[in-house]
Structure 1
Amino acid sequence: MSLRIYGNRQLKTLPGQETRPTLAMVRSALFNIWQGTIADCRWLDLCAGSGAMGAEALCRGASVAVGVEQATRACAIIRQNWQQVANETQTFQVLRGDVRQRIKALEGQQFDRIYFDPPYESDLYEPVLEAIAHLQLLASDGELAVEHSSDHWSAVTPSKLEICRQKVYSNTALTFYRSSI
Protein backbone atom coordinates (compact mmCIF):
# COMPACT_ATOMS: atom_id res chain seq x y z
CA MET A 1 0.00 0.00 0.00
CA SER A 2 1.16 3.57 -0.56
CA LEU A 3 -0.08 7.00 0.42
CA ARG A 4 0.52 10.52 -0.75
CA ILE A 5 1.58 13.53 1.27
CA TYR A 6 2.31 17.23 0.71
CA GLY A 7 3.63 17.95 -2.76
CA ASN A 8 1.99 14.75 -4.11
CA ARG A 9 4.90 12.68 -2.78
CA GLN A 10 4.25 8.97 -2.53
CA LEU A 11 5.26 7.07 0.62
CA LYS A 12 5.48 3.38 1.39
CA THR A 13 3.39 1.75 4.10
CA LEU A 14 3.33 -1.73 5.55
CA PRO A 15 0.80 -4.13 4.06
CA GLY A 16 -2.01 -5.38 6.25
CA GLN A 17 -3.10 -4.09 9.62
CA GLU A 18 0.28 -3.85 11.39
CA THR A 19 0.03 -0.05 11.33
CA ARG A 20 -2.91 2.33 10.83
CA PRO A 21 -1.90 5.36 8.76
CA THR A 22 -3.51 8.63 9.82
CA LEU A 23 -6.34 9.46 7.45
CA ALA A 24 -5.51 12.03 4.77
CA MET A 25 -8.38 14.22 6.05
CA VAL A 26 -6.94 14.23 9.59
CA ARG A 27 -3.36 14.74 8.38
CA SER A 28 -4.48 17.69 6.24
CA ALA A 29 -6.50 19.21 9.10
CA LEU A 30 -3.58 18.93 11.52
CA PHE A 31 -1.15 20.64 9.17
CA ASN A 32 -3.73 23.36 8.48
CA ILE A 33 -4.05 23.96 12.23
CA TRP A 34 -0.27 24.04 12.63
CA GLN A 35 0.26 26.02 9.42
CA GLY A 36 3.10 28.50 9.74
CA THR A 37 4.69 26.65 12.70
CA ILE A 38 6.33 23.67 11.01
CA ALA A 39 9.23 25.34 9.21
CA ASP A 40 12.38 24.94 11.32
CA CYS A 41 10.51 23.12 14.09
CA ARG A 42 11.72 20.07 15.99
CA TRP A 43 9.17 17.29 15.33
CA LEU A 44 8.57 14.16 17.44
CA ASP A 45 6.42 11.36 16.00
CA LEU A 46 5.42 8.77 18.62
CA CYS A 47 4.03 5.43 17.42
CA ALA A 48 5.13 6.61 14.01
CA GLY A 49 3.75 3.74 11.89
CA SER A 50 4.76 4.53 8.30
CA GLY A 51 6.28 7.87 9.32
CA ALA A 52 3.80 9.79 7.16
CA MET A 53 3.31 12.54 9.75
CA GLY A 54 7.05 13.07 10.16
CA ALA A 55 7.55 12.93 6.39
CA GLU A 56 4.89 15.59 5.97
CA ALA A 57 6.63 17.74 8.61
CA LEU A 58 9.96 17.33 6.81
CA CYS A 59 8.33 18.28 3.49
CA ARG A 60 7.00 21.41 5.16
CA GLY A 61 10.43 22.40 6.48
CA ALA A 62 10.85 20.83 9.93
CA SER A 63 14.54 20.98 10.81
CA VAL A 64 14.52 17.79 12.90
CA ALA A 65 12.24 14.75 12.93
CA VAL A 66 12.47 11.97 15.49
CA GLY A 67 10.24 8.93 15.28
CA VAL A 68 9.58 6.16 17.78
CA GLU A 69 8.04 2.92 16.51
CA GLN A 70 7.93 -0.60 17.91
CA ALA A 71 7.66 -2.64 14.70
CA THR A 72 11.03 -3.39 13.10
CA ARG A 73 9.61 -3.49 9.56
CA ALA A 74 7.85 -0.16 10.12
CA CYS A 75 11.12 1.45 11.25
CA ALA A 76 12.75 0.44 7.96
CA ILE A 77 9.83 1.99 6.03
CA ILE A 78 10.03 5.19 8.11
CA ARG A 79 13.75 5.53 7.36
CA GLN A 80 13.11 5.02 3.63
CA ASN A 81 10.25 7.52 3.60
CA TRP A 82 12.15 10.18 5.55
CA GLN A 83 15.32 9.70 3.48
CA GLN A 84 13.22 10.26 0.36
CA VAL A 85 11.82 13.63 1.54
CA ALA A 86 14.55 15.11 3.76
CA ASN A 87 17.03 17.60 2.36
CA GLU A 88 20.68 18.01 3.36
CA THR A 89 19.91 20.57 6.10
CA GLN A 90 17.34 18.39 7.87
CA THR A 91 18.14 15.63 10.32
CA PHE A 92 16.07 12.66 11.36
CA GLN A 93 16.32 9.70 13.69
CA VAL A 94 14.15 6.61 14.09
CA LEU A 95 14.15 4.81 17.44
CA ARG A 96 12.84 1.25 17.53
CA GLY A 97 11.15 -0.13 20.61
CA ASP A 98 8.31 0.27 23.05
CA VAL A 99 7.44 3.96 23.20
CA ARG A 100 7.23 3.83 27.03
CA GLN A 101 10.89 2.81 27.18
CA ARG A 102 12.35 4.60 24.14
CA ILE A 103 10.89 7.98 25.10
CA LYS A 104 13.29 8.06 28.06
CA ALA A 105 16.21 8.27 25.58
CA LEU A 106 14.88 11.70 24.55
CA GLU A 107 15.39 13.27 27.99
CA GLY A 108 17.10 16.64 27.67
CA GLN A 109 15.61 17.31 24.22
CA GLN A 110 12.59 19.49 23.48
CA PHE A 111 10.24 19.43 20.53
CA ASP A 112 8.08 22.18 19.09
CA ARG A 113 5.51 19.76 17.68
CA ILE A 114 4.76 16.27 18.98
CA TYR A 115 2.36 13.87 17.28
CA PHE A 116 1.26 10.81 19.28
CA ASP A 117 -0.85 8.17 17.51
CA PRO A 118 -0.91 4.87 19.42
CA PRO A 119 -3.28 1.99 18.70
CA TYR A 120 -6.63 3.37 19.87
CA GLU A 121 -7.38 0.53 22.29
CA SER A 122 -3.90 0.53 23.83
CA ASP A 123 -2.93 1.43 27.37
CA LEU A 124 -0.25 3.84 26.10
CA TYR A 125 -2.04 7.18 26.40
CA GLU A 126 -1.58 7.90 30.10
CA PRO A 127 2.01 6.67 30.62
CA VAL A 128 3.32 8.35 27.46
CA LEU A 129 1.61 11.68 28.17
CA GLU A 130 2.94 11.54 31.73
CA ALA A 131 6.45 10.83 30.39
CA ILE A 132 6.24 13.73 27.92
CA ALA A 133 5.30 16.04 30.80
CA HIS A 134 7.84 14.60 33.27
CA LEU A 135 10.73 14.66 30.77
CA GLN A 136 9.66 18.15 29.60
CA LEU A 137 9.86 17.08 25.96
CA LEU A 138 7.37 19.72 24.82
CA ALA A 139 8.95 23.13 24.26
CA SER A 140 7.38 25.98 26.25
CA ASP A 141 5.64 27.35 23.15
CA GLY A 142 5.10 23.92 21.56
CA GLU A 143 2.01 21.81 21.01
CA LEU A 144 1.28 18.13 21.26
CA ALA A 145 -1.48 16.47 19.22
CA VAL A 146 -2.87 13.11 20.34
CA GLU A 147 -4.86 11.05 17.85
CA HIS A 148 -7.56 8.84 19.33
CA SER A 149 -10.98 7.38 18.67
CA SER A 150 -13.76 9.93 18.85
CA ASP A 151 -15.96 7.29 20.54
CA HIS A 152 -13.85 6.06 23.44
CA TRP A 153 -11.60 8.71 24.96
CA SER A 154 -11.02 9.72 28.52
CA ALA A 155 -8.88 12.82 28.34
CA VAL A 156 -5.61 12.44 30.18
CA THR A 157 -4.24 15.68 31.57
CA PRO A 158 -0.86 15.31 33.25
CA SER A 159 0.39 18.11 35.47
CA LYS A 160 2.53 20.48 33.34
CA LEU A 161 0.21 19.98 30.31
CA GLU A 162 -3.20 21.44 29.51
CA ILE A 163 -5.70 20.75 26.78
CA CYS A 164 -5.93 23.72 24.43
CA ARG A 165 -8.35 22.36 21.79
CA GLN A 166 -10.07 19.25 20.51
CA LYS A 167 -11.18 18.41 16.97
CA VAL A 168 -13.32 15.53 15.72
CA TYR A 169 -13.10 14.07 12.21
CA SER A 170 -15.68 11.28 11.89
CA ASN A 171 -14.34 8.34 13.99
CA THR A 172 -11.00 10.04 14.67
CA ALA A 173 -10.29 12.88 17.07
CA LEU A 174 -7.30 15.02 17.93
CA THR A 175 -6.71 16.46 21.38
CA PHE A 176 -4.12 19.22 21.52
CA TYR A 177 -1.98 19.98 24.57
CA ARG A 178 0.42 22.76 25.46
CA SER A 179 2.71 23.32 28.40
CA SER A 180 0.98 24.69 31.48
CA ILE A 181 4.17 25.93 33.16
Structure 2
Amino acid sequence: MRIYGNRQLKTLPGLETRPTTGRVREAVFNIWQNRVEGCRWLDLCAGNGSMGAEALCRGAGFVVGIEQNAKACAIIRQNWEKVASVEQFQVIKGNVLSRLPQLAGQTFDFIYFDPPYDSPLYPPVLSAIAQLDLLSPDGEMALEHRPEQESFELPSGLEICRQKVYGNTALTFIRRLESGV
Protein backbone atom coordinates (compact mmCIF):
# COMPACT_ATOMS: atom_id res chain seq x y z
CA MET A 1 0.00 0.00 0.00
CA ARG A 2 1.33 3.43 -0.96
CA ILE A 3 0.31 6.89 0.19
CA TYR A 4 1.11 10.51 -0.71
CA GLY A 5 4.69 10.92 -1.90
CA ASN A 6 4.81 7.27 -3.03
CA ARG A 7 5.53 6.11 0.54
CA GLN A 8 5.10 2.41 1.26
CA LEU A 9 3.01 1.40 4.31
CA LYS A 10 2.87 -1.90 6.14
CA THR A 11 -0.45 -3.71 6.46
CA LEU A 12 -1.65 -6.64 8.52
CA PRO A 13 -1.79 -9.91 6.59
CA GLY A 14 -5.21 -11.47 6.07
CA LEU A 15 -8.56 -9.87 6.68
CA GLU A 16 -8.09 -8.56 10.24
CA THR A 17 -8.29 -4.99 8.95
CA ARG A 18 -9.67 -3.47 5.75
CA PRO A 19 -7.41 -0.61 4.64
CA THR A 20 -9.12 2.34 3.00
CA THR A 21 -8.57 2.09 -0.75
CA GLY A 22 -6.33 4.54 -2.55
CA ARG A 23 -9.30 5.88 -4.50
CA VAL A 24 -11.24 6.68 -1.33
CA ARG A 25 -8.18 8.18 0.41
CA GLU A 26 -7.53 10.39 -2.60
CA ALA A 27 -11.17 11.51 -2.68
CA VAL A 28 -11.17 12.45 1.02
CA PHE A 29 -7.98 14.45 0.69
CA ASN A 30 -9.22 16.16 -2.47
CA ILE A 31 -12.33 17.26 -0.59
CA TRP A 32 -10.39 18.45 2.47
CA GLN A 33 -7.20 19.41 0.60
CA ASN A 34 -6.73 23.06 1.56
CA ARG A 35 -7.58 22.51 5.22
CA VAL A 36 -5.27 19.65 6.28
CA GLU A 37 -2.12 21.72 6.88
CA GLY A 38 -1.70 22.14 10.65
CA CYS A 39 -4.99 20.39 11.47
CA ARG A 40 -5.80 18.04 14.32
CA TRP A 41 -6.90 14.66 12.91
CA LEU A 42 -8.67 11.78 14.68
CA ASP A 43 -8.54 8.34 13.01
CA LEU A 44 -11.09 5.94 14.55
CA CYS A 45 -10.83 2.19 13.92
CA ALA A 46 -7.52 3.14 12.33
CA GLY A 47 -6.57 -0.28 10.86
CA ASN A 48 -3.06 0.16 9.47
CA GLY A 49 -3.19 3.94 9.94
CA SER A 50 -3.21 4.83 6.25
CA MET A 51 -5.58 7.79 6.70
CA GLY A 52 -3.57 9.21 9.58
CA ALA A 53 -0.30 8.65 7.68
CA GLU A 54 -1.74 10.44 4.68
CA ALA A 55 -2.82 13.34 6.91
CA LEU A 56 0.67 13.55 8.44
CA CYS A 57 2.27 13.52 4.97
CA ARG A 58 0.02 16.38 3.95
CA GLY A 59 0.97 18.53 6.93
CA ALA A 60 -1.45 17.65 9.73
CA GLY A 61 -0.22 19.13 13.00
CA PHE A 62 -1.28 16.24 15.23
CA VAL A 63 -2.93 12.87 14.60
CA VAL A 64 -4.58 10.52 17.09
CA GLY A 65 -5.48 6.98 16.10
CA ILE A 66 -7.63 4.54 18.03
CA GLU A 67 -7.44 0.86 17.11
CA GLN A 68 -8.50 -2.23 19.02
CA ASN A 69 -6.09 -4.74 17.45
CA ALA A 70 -2.68 -4.75 19.20
CA LYS A 71 -0.80 -5.93 16.09
CA ALA A 72 -2.43 -3.17 14.06
CA CYS A 73 -1.40 -0.57 16.67
CA ALA A 74 2.23 -1.65 16.29
CA ILE A 75 1.95 -1.31 12.49
CA ILE A 76 0.29 2.13 12.83
CA ARG A 77 3.20 3.35 14.98
CA GLN A 78 5.73 2.01 12.47
CA ASN A 79 3.87 3.60 9.56
CA TRP A 80 3.49 6.96 11.28
CA GLU A 81 7.13 7.01 12.44
CA LYS A 82 8.11 6.81 8.75
CA VAL A 83 6.34 10.10 7.99
CA ALA A 84 6.38 12.16 11.21
CA SER A 85 8.07 12.66 14.55
CA VAL A 86 6.59 10.85 17.56
CA GLU A 87 5.49 14.23 19.00
CA GLN A 88 3.05 14.60 16.09
CA PHE A 89 0.91 11.55 16.83
CA GLN A 90 -0.62 9.31 19.45
CA VAL A 91 -1.78 5.71 18.97
CA ILE A 92 -4.35 4.48 21.48
CA LYS A 93 -5.02 0.75 21.76
CA GLY A 94 -8.53 -0.27 22.76
CA ASN A 95 -12.20 -0.26 21.97
CA VAL A 96 -13.12 3.04 20.35
CA LEU A 97 -16.14 3.57 22.64
CA SER A 98 -14.16 3.04 25.82
CA ARG A 99 -11.20 5.13 24.61
CA LEU A 100 -13.01 8.19 23.24
CA PRO A 101 -13.66 9.66 26.73
CA GLN A 102 -9.92 10.02 27.30
CA LEU A 103 -9.96 12.62 24.51
CA ALA A 104 -12.48 14.83 26.37
CA GLY A 105 -11.43 18.46 26.27
CA GLN A 106 -9.75 18.10 22.87
CA THR A 107 -11.23 19.01 19.50
CA PHE A 108 -10.35 17.74 16.05
CA ASP A 109 -10.65 19.46 12.69
CA PHE A 110 -11.15 16.13 10.94
CA ILE A 111 -12.40 12.80 12.19
CA TYR A 112 -12.23 9.72 10.01
CA PHE A 113 -14.34 6.79 11.22
CA ASP A 114 -13.95 3.44 9.46
CA PRO A 115 -15.30 0.57 11.58
CA PRO A 116 -16.07 -2.89 10.21
CA TYR A 117 -19.06 -2.25 7.94
CA ASP A 118 -21.38 -4.59 9.86
CA SER A 119 -20.38 -3.06 13.18
CA PRO A 120 -22.97 -1.66 15.59
CA LEU A 121 -20.49 1.14 16.43
CA TYR A 122 -21.87 3.87 14.17
CA PRO A 123 -24.67 5.26 16.43
CA PRO A 124 -22.83 5.08 19.79
CA VAL A 125 -19.60 6.53 18.40
CA LEU A 126 -21.46 9.42 16.74
CA SER A 127 -23.23 10.08 20.04
CA ALA A 128 -19.94 9.98 21.97
CA ILE A 129 -18.30 12.40 19.53
CA ALA A 130 -21.20 14.83 19.92
CA GLN A 131 -21.40 14.40 23.70
CA LEU A 132 -17.66 14.87 24.19
CA ASP A 133 -17.67 17.80 21.73
CA LEU A 134 -14.70 16.34 19.84
CA LEU A 135 -15.47 17.88 16.44
CA SER A 136 -14.24 21.46 16.15
CA PRO A 137 -16.83 24.10 15.16
CA ASP A 138 -15.55 24.25 11.56
CA GLY A 139 -14.53 20.59 11.43
CA GLU A 140 -15.87 17.67 9.46
CA MET A 141 -16.16 13.97 10.05
CA ALA A 142 -16.19 11.28 7.37
CA LEU A 143 -17.83 7.90 7.96
CA GLU A 144 -16.82 5.04 5.71
CA HIS A 145 -19.59 2.48 5.10
CA ARG A 146 -21.35 0.32 2.54
CA PRO A 147 -23.26 2.25 -0.14
CA GLU A 148 -26.56 0.58 0.80
CA GLN A 149 -26.30 2.02 4.32
CA GLU A 150 -27.66 5.41 3.35
CA SER A 151 -28.76 6.96 6.60
CA PHE A 152 -27.36 7.44 10.06
CA GLU A 153 -29.27 8.52 13.10
CA LEU A 154 -27.38 11.63 14.07
CA PRO A 155 -27.27 13.05 17.57
CA SER A 156 -28.43 16.59 18.16
CA GLY A 157 -25.97 19.18 16.90
CA LEU A 158 -24.67 17.23 13.89
CA GLU A 159 -25.81 17.19 10.27
CA ILE A 160 -24.89 15.43 7.03
CA CYS A 161 -23.23 17.83 4.60
CA ARG A 162 -22.47 15.48 1.69
CA GLN A 163 -22.43 11.83 0.67
CA LYS A 164 -20.24 10.17 -1.96
CA VAL A 165 -20.02 6.64 -3.36
CA TYR A 166 -16.82 5.07 -4.69
CA GLY A 167 -17.58 1.55 -5.89
CA ASN A 168 -18.19 -0.65 -2.83
CA THR A 169 -17.41 2.19 -0.42
CA ALA A 170 -19.53 5.15 0.58
CA LEU A 171 -18.57 8.20 2.59
CA THR A 172 -20.94 10.30 4.63
CA PHE A 173 -19.55 13.67 5.67
CA ILE A 174 -20.88 15.20 8.87
CA ARG A 175 -20.40 18.63 10.42
CA ARG A 176 -21.72 20.51 13.41
CA LEU A 177 -24.95 22.37 12.89
CA GLU A 178 -24.36 26.03 12.33
CA SER A 179 -25.45 28.08 15.31
CA GLY A 180 -28.88 29.58 14.88
CA VAL A 181 -30.08 26.77 12.58
TMscore range, shorter length: over 0.9
Query: Counterpart in 1 of 2:162?
Result: 165
User: What letter matches 2:163 in structure 1?
Assistant: Q
Over 4 Å off, 4+ runs: none
Query: Counterpart in 1 of 2:72?
Result: 74
Query: Counterpart in 2 of 1:28?
Result: 26
User: What letter matches 2:64 in structure 1?
Assistant: V
Q: If the length of structure 2 is used for normalisation, what is the TM-score? A: 0.96
* Structure 1 unaligned residues grouped into runs of 5+: none
Helix, strand or coil at the partner of 1:36: helix
Distance in 1, matches of 2:155 and 2:115, equals 17
Deviations along 1:82-111, one digit per CA (max 9) or x if unpaired, are 0110147x6100000000100111000000
Q: Percent identity?
A: 65
Distance in 2, matches of 1:111 and 1:157, equals 18
Deviations along 1:39-72, one digit per CA (max 9) or x if unpaired, are 0000000000000000000000000000000000
User: What letter matches 2:54 in structure 1?
Assistant: E
Query: Counterpart in 2 of 1:46?
Result: 44
Report the CA distance between 1:157 and its aligned residue.
1.3
User: What letter matches 1:95 in structure 2?
Assistant: I
Distance in 2, matches of 1:172 and 1:70, equals 22
CA RMSD of aligned residues (A): 1.0
Distance in 1, matches of 2:47 and 2:150, equals 21
- Which of 170, 174, 181 aligns to 2:171? It is 174
Distance in 1, matches of 2:74 and 2:113, equals 19
Helix, strand or coil at the partner of 1:80: helix
Q: If the length of structure 1 is used for normalisation, what is the TM-score? A: 0.96
Q: How many residues align?
A: 178
CA contact (8 A) 1:151 1:171 kept: no
User: What letter matches 2:124 in structure 1?
Assistant: P
Distance in 1, matches of 2:128 and 2:30, equals 27
* Structure 2 unaligned residues grouped into runs of 5+: none
